[in-house]
Each structure stands twice: as C-alpha cells, then as structure tokens.
Amino acid sequence: MAKPQSSYLVCLAFSLVFNLLLISKLYVGREWELSWSRRAAEEAEYVAAISCSGHGRAYLDGLTLDGKEPVCECNSCYGGPHCSEFLTGCAANADSGDPYFLEPFWMQHASKSALVVAGWHRMSYTFADQSYISAELERHIRKLHAIVGNAVTGGKYIVFGAGSTQLLNAAVHALSSHNSSSSSSPASVVASIPYYNLYQMQTEFFRSTDYVFRGDASLLQNISDATNVIEFVTSPNNPDGQLNKANVQGPNAKAIYDRVYYWPHFTAIPTPANDDIMIFSISKLTGHAGSRFGWAVVKDESVFQKMTMYTLINSMGISRDAQLRALKVLNVVLEGGGKDIFEFGYNTLRKRWEKLSNILSVSNRFSLQKFAPKYCTFFKKTRGPSPAYAWVKCEREEDKDCYAVLQEEANVYGRRGSHFGAEDRFVRLTLLRSQDDFDLLLQRLNQLVLEESHRNAILSTI
C-alpha cells in the first residue's frame, strides 16, 4: 500500500504547490482591481487591436461598420477593409504637414501615453486658481524648454492657444491694438518670402481695422516710418527650413517668432531663442496636430494680457481635454530628458532627407535647399540636416510650374511655391507624413529621375 500512498502524496504536493502558484497569480502583487475604467479600457484596446495591415489604423470615433466595429482608416494609396490593398496609380501625397512620422513613436510608447478621462473631468470653465490654463501643463512646458535648451522662458509669460493658429492672430491683435489712439493707421503685417500662407490668410480674413497684410518685407520701403510694422518670422522657416531672423528693425517694428519647428527633430539647436514673442505647438513637437494645442512665450506683460484676452473672447480658453492630452504626451517627452522622442524624430527625418537628397542629386532638373552642418547644443554634436520639408526648385527654364511637373510626370502632389508667396518654380514636399506616403514619394521621384538620366544617356549617344 506504500506505492499508491506516496503517489497520492506527490499528487497532493503538486496540487498544493499549484494552488499556491494560482493564489499568488491571483492575489499577490496584483495591480489595482479596475472598476469604472475597465469598460472604456477594453473598448480602446479592442479598437486598437483591429488589424489595418500596418497601412492604417482604427479609431474609437471612427465610422462604424453596421454600427458595430470601427473601420480602418488607411494611409493614402491604401484601401480595402484592412488597408491591405495598394491602390496602383494613386497620386503620392506630399502636400499637407500632417505629422504622422511620429505615430510609430506613440505606438511604441502605448502604455505611458495612454490617457483615461473620467466623465466628470474638469467640467468647469476655469481651473481651481480661476485661470483658464493648467498650471501643471505650464510647468511641464517650462521644464521642457529648459531641458531642450531651445527657448528662454525665465521671467516670461506663457499663453495657451488652439494650436499655433489661434496664437498667431492673437499676437497680431495684441501688437496692433491701441489703448486709445484709434485714429492711428493700421499696423502693417509682413513676412519674408517664402512664408507660411496662413499669416496672410488670417490677417486678411479677419478684416480688422487695426492691421493690414502688406506682403513681403522687401516692400517695406513704401510704408511710412510712423506705421507700426509686425513681422512674422518663421524659424526654422516653413517651407525652406532656414533659421530666419527678423528683417525689419526700428522702434516701430515688432516681430512674432513662429518657432513651431525649433525642436531637435528638425534643426540643430545652436542657442536658446530669446525673442519677445515665440510661438510653439505640440503639432510639430509630438505630432498631435489634431489636438490643437500650442503656446506662446511672451516677454511683455501687456502683450501677454492682450493675447490671453484674445483667447478668452475667442473661445473661452483652450479645451481642457486638449490640455490634458498635451500634459500626458509632454510627460512622456520629458521622461529621460527628451532623448527618446527627439532621437526618434531626428533619425526618421534625417534618413528621409538623405534618401531624397541622394535621389535628386542625380538630377540636373531639380534642386533642393542647402544646409550647412551645425552644432546642436541638445545632441551635443554637429549634425546634418533633417528638415520638415523639401523646398524643391525646377531648374529647367520651361518648368515654370514645378507643382504641375511633379504631378504630371511623377504622380506626386506637393504644395505650390505661390502658396508661400514665391514663384511656382518652387514646390514644397512634406517629409512629415507616414512612412507609406514617404516611400511612395521616393519611389515616384526615383523613377522620374531615372527616366531623366536614361533620356540624357540616350541623347548623349546620338
């Protein structure tokens, strides 16, 4: 009888050990048992798990199929229920600045960047201090600038806006509004060609009595000395990536520095910017263009007050949901001193720029803007260019419309030079979109350039 007894004992021992294991798995070291957030978390993970073949993604608020499952939203030139079909002949999108190049970073940091919003989160118009801005978020922003070394914020004020977009006009308003002298002539708003089109569109659209768009800074000689001049300076510039400085000097000249590209993704950071008005946004920093969150760093208190008033009268401050999202993503950026995201962004854009440059270097028909290598105080090394956009010039005399050349001959669409106040001999190609979009752009340009060399080779033999 000894044998069965000992085998029982062995079984019992195994079973008991197994029990202990199960108990420890169930209860020991287990995390917080979720209650009200579980349903939403499951829903989000379910949607995120929908397969879109790596060429798209499904969203919580996407259109639903039969009122049930959100459908995949595919990258341009991909289709089908799971984005698995390449749409042959589809035009390569190199137009908008949609910053999808950072999407893989956030997918890699899914856990840290996820956000749970309670139904009762921040229902009030104001924060506890009666302000319209999150003090925690402002603290994060100041810390970020200190770590990156791209802007001096000490002793300066911070205004939040619905992306840089709202802040650009808020700044024009603040610099042009008069306390009493309503009889004085409107301020002249200028920018150097090539410039971001929105400056002109906005300034003209709102038809204010306080300001008028006067176009290129070189036309300033026609403006009387007494007129106030407000100059938009984009640095690095959109479209050409140059670290521009204000052209207009003098007692009546004020500059609004659009610094949305002044991050280590896009440029070496030679020194912290210390302009009177500097505008930033998460669109180009973290890639969350859809959140519509930006901020201005402002030196002068009265300009700060006027810009803040603008955002209040315009939209009663910035969505608390956008502020919460910005806080969450900036928190991830700050982890590890910002190295992760800036290295990811820089490496991605650097590679893209190199590939594009290599292809176009074979061609005599197209040229690209030039950059000198620069020392970056953030990366602590001299680094090559990694701009947000390629500013392409068609060099042939007859190629006056470079946009049309690329569209007709390469099936690629960029953004016209005239959109930036420049000649249509130029076209802007974005490097910020998804890898799919960039790969297709590259493939199409490569083909065009190869055909050119091929034709040249044939011509040289006859």
Does 394 sit near its own copies (CB under 8 A)? no
Find the part of the chain contacting its own copies (CB under 8 A) among 14-22, 357-365, 416-424, 438-446: 14-22
- Calculated CA dihedral for residues 250, 170, 274, 377, nearest 10 degrees: -130
**In the complex, least distance from residue 229 CB atom to its own copies, rounded to whole angstroms:** 19
Q: Which of residues 268 and 329 has its CB atom nearest to its own copies in the complex? A: 329
Query: Comparing C-alpha atoms, which of 111, 106, 183, 147 is closest to residue 348?
Result: 106
153: helix, strand or coil: coil
Find the part of the chain contacting its own copies (CB under 8 A) among 59-67, 378-386, 422-430, 448-456: 59-67
Q: Residue 153's Cα: distance from chain center in Å?
A: 21
Helix (H), strand (E) at residue 427: strand 426-430
Report 61-80 residues binding its own copies (CB under 8 A): 61-64, 73-74
Tell me which of 122, 142, 355, 374 binds its own copies, using CB under 8 A.
Answer: 122
Provide the CB-side half-sphere exposure for 147 (13 A, CA).
18
Tell me which of 210, 300, 423, 424 binds its own copies, using CB under 8 A.
Answer: 210
Does 40 sit near its own copies (CB under 8 A)? yes
Tell me which of 87, 90, 116, 193 binds its own copies, using CB under 8 A.
Answer: 116
Report 126-185 residues binding its own copies (CB under 8 A): 126-128, 134-137, 161-163, 165-166, 169, 173, 177
- Contact (CB, 8 A) for 190 and 230: yes
Find the part of the chain contacting its own copies (CB under 8 A) among 82-90, 206-214, 349-357, 404-412: 206-214
Q: Which of residues 72 and 429 has its CB atom nearest to its own copies in the complex? A: 72
Is residue 232 exposed (0-12), middle (13-18) or buried (19+ Cβ within 10 Å)?
Answer: buried
**Residue whose pair of structure tokens reads 């007709």 in the numeric block:** 408
**In the complex, least distance from residue 42 CB atom to its own copies, rounded to whole angstroms:** 4
- Per DSSP, the residues of 23-74 read HHHHHTT------TTHHHHHHHHHHHTS--TTSEEE-TTS-EETTTEEPEEE
Does 193 sit near its own copies (CB under 8 A)? no
- Give dist(CA 137, CA 125) in Å, integer: 17
Find the part of the chain contacting its own copies (CB under 8 A) among 54-62, 149-157, 344-352, 368-376: 54-62
**In the complex, least distance from residue 140 CB atom to its own copies, rounded to whole angstroms:** 10
Does 419 sit near its own copies (CB under 8 A)? no
Alpha carbon separation from 126 to 133, 229, 295, 398 (Å, rounded): 8, 35, 18, 59
Report 266-305 residues binding its own copies (CB under 8 A): 283, 287-293
Find the part of the chain contacting its own copies (CB under 8 A) among 24-32, 148-156, 374-382, 419-427: 24-32
Q: Residue 211's Cα: distance from chain center in Å?
A: 28
- Give dist(CA 347, CA 433) in Å, integer: 15
Does 106 sit near its own copies (CB under 8 A)? yes
Q: How far apart are the first and last CA of the chain?
A: 103
Say how many residues make up the chain: 462
436: helix, strand or coil: helix
**In the complex, least distance from residue 277 CB atom to its own copies, rounded to whole angstroms:** 18
Tell me which of 243, 255, 327, 427 binds its own copies, using CB under 8 A.
Answer: 327
Tell me which of 153, 192, 323, 430 binds its own copies, using CB under 8 A.
Answer: 323
Does 28 sit near its own copies (CB under 8 A)? no
Q: Which of residues 310 and 438 has its CB atom nearest to its own copies in the complex? A: 310
Does 87 sit near its own copies (CB under 8 A)? no
Find the part of the chain contacting its own copies (CB under 8 A) among 16-24, 217-225, 236-244, 396-404: 16-24
Q: Which of residues 66 and 398 has its CB atom nearest to its own copies in the complex? A: 66
- Calculated CA dihedral for residues 35, 123, 109, 430, nearest 10 degrees: 150
Please give, one letter per residue, the 3-state secondary structure of 75-89.
CCCEECCCCCEECCC
**In the complex, least distance from residue 342 CB atom to its own copies, rounded to whole angstroms:** 17
Query: Comparing C-alpha atoms, which of 429, 418, 423 is closest to residue 392?
Result: 429
**In the complex, least distance from residue 312 CB atom to its own copies, rounded to whole angstroms:** 9
**In the complex, least distance from residue 186 CB atom to its own copies, rounded to whole angstroms:** 10
Q: Which of residues 284 and 365 has its CB atom nearest to its own copies in the complex? A: 284
